[in-house]
Structure 1
Amino acid sequence: MTARETAGREAPTPPPAPTAYDRRMRALMNRGEARPFYATAARRRLVVAAHIALTVSIAVTWGVAQATGRMWLLFVMIGLLLPWFLATGVINSATRGLLELRGRALDERQRAERDRVGARAHRTMLVLLLGGTLGFIGARVLGDTDVTVSLPYALAVALITHWLMPLWVAGLQVQDEPAED
């Protein structure tokens, strides 16, 4: 290569060094207290299923409270948040903070894994949104119903699902840790 050809190219810059915050978060995500909850694939699937069930319960409780005016249901929703936070922590611990840590705190393998999780979550959301859209169109055309009433709730469900899908996919895709000798 000539000097002219190499002058326009820049060498890839390595990611910046992890900061103290990155090191603290990495240590937090790699603590072992929750290991019994995610030690096997079946337990991880159970935690992800529980997280999905808690998310649905919280969303339904909120929707019913809004629709009926029974504001005491918000206390039920707050009570469901504690196990939801615990399940979120277990999934984050199982994935070693794959989605919570900044890129500079991850190695190349982890960054590639995060990209794979993001791509799978994106494809899954695409299928779910397509199904939901076809369902709304079908309800409007075939059912002769007014779907605009339920549209805000459907959008809230889509937003929550879009937000949490990468966490659920990561929790389901994480591999078992190698057995100790």
Structure 2
Amino acid sequence: MAQQEQLTSYDRRMRALMNRTEGEPLYRTAGRRRAVVGAHIALSVAAVAAWLGTVVGESAWAVWVMLGLLLPWCVATGIINGATRGLLELRPRALDERQRGERDRVRARAHQVMTWLLLAAVAGTGVAGFAGVDVKALVFQVTLCAFVAHWLMPLWVAGLTARDEPADEADDFVAPAAA
């Protein structure tokens, strides 16, 4: 109970927001959560590609693509945050001991995945360099993609590893048969 007393009004509002149940049908099953994470990854890749199109390719139309992707990306982020009950968004004092342990596990797994992703990026860039591609031109794009993946990987891992909510006890109650 001492932990409850330390919560600020911001902490209480954020915890209430992250535990709302209106969106639960969107993330109730593992398959739905995987689909949302997959959509979020696809939207993130498309947004990064569009942004690179504005910076590197100097294509003005890519700005409109980025703006069009922003709302669905935000919705998918909100669904993942709802599925994880705000595991990565809430302050540590707003989480219980189990949630803090889960947050640590998610971050450790995301770190492992990022290590392998960075190794693949280094190897891919090295192979491209040996194949005669000018890797100096790739450095910015690869670095940006690695940054975005590093930023979003904990969210994706949390969405993929979130567990189903336990069934409500009232749903499992079976009335005794009349004799």
TM normalised by structure 1 equals 0.89
> How far apart are the structure 1 equivalents of 2:29 and 2:124?
36
* Aligned equivalent of 2:161: 173
In the alignment, what sits opposite 1:128?
Answer: 117
Cα drift, residue 144 of structure 1: 2.0
TM-superposed CA distance for 1:69, in Å, is 2.1
SS at match of 1:150: helix
Q: How far, CA to CA, are the matches of 2:101 and 2:51 in structure 1?
A: 37
SS at match of 2:132: coil
Taking the TM superposition and a 5 Å limit, the aligned residue runs for 1:132-143 are 132-141=121-130, 143=131
3-state SS in 2 of match to 1:68:
coil
The percentage of aligned residue pairs carrying the same residue is 56
The one-letter code matched in structure 2 to 1:59 is: V
Q: 2: distance between equivalents of 1:41 and 1:27?
A: 23
| Alpha-carbon offset, residue 96 of structure 1 | 0.2
Segments of structure 1 that go 5 or more residues without pairing to the other structure are: 1-13
Q: Secondary structure at the match of 2:56?
A: helix
Does 2:34 correspond to 1:34?
no
**1:12-70 deviations in Å (ceiling 9; x for gaps):** xx798211110110000001111010010000000000000000111111112333322
The SS at the match of 2:156 is helix
Letter in 2 for 1:96: R
CA distance in 1 between partners of 2:34 and 2:102 (Å): 18
How far apart, CA to CA, are the structure 2 residues paired with 1:28 and 1:34?
11
Provide the aligned length of Structure 1 versus Structure 2. Answer: 168
Aligned counterpart in structure 1 of residue 93 of structure 2, from 104, 110, 127: 104
Contact 1:38 1:90 in 2 (8 A): yes
Q: Are 1:48 and 1:87, in contact at CA under 8 Å, matched by a contact in 2?
A: yes
Distance 1:15 1:39, change over 3 A: closer
Q: Does 1:157 align with 2:145?
A: yes
SS in 1 for 2:90: coil
Mark the CA change 1:169 to 1:146 in structure 2 (over 3 Å): closer, same or farther.
same
Is it true that 1:85 corresponds to 2:74 in the alignment?
yes
TM-score (norm 2): 0.90
Partner of 1:21: 10
Q: CA RMSD in A?
A: 1.6
Q: Distance in 2 between matches of 1:149 and 1:16?
A: 54
> Is 1:47 the counterpart of 2:39 in the alignment?
no
Q: Equivalents in 2 of 1:145, 1:68: separation in Å?
A: 18
Aligned match of 1:145: 133
Letter in 1 for 2:24: R
Displacement of 1:138 after TM fit?
A: 1.5
- 3-state SS, counterpart of residue 20 of structure 2: coil
Question: Which ranges in structure 2 are unaligned for 5 or more consecutive residues?
Answer: 172-179
Q: Which residue of 2 aligns with 1:115?
A: 104
Instruction: Flag as ranges the 4+ runs of structure 1 deviating above 3 A.
Output: none
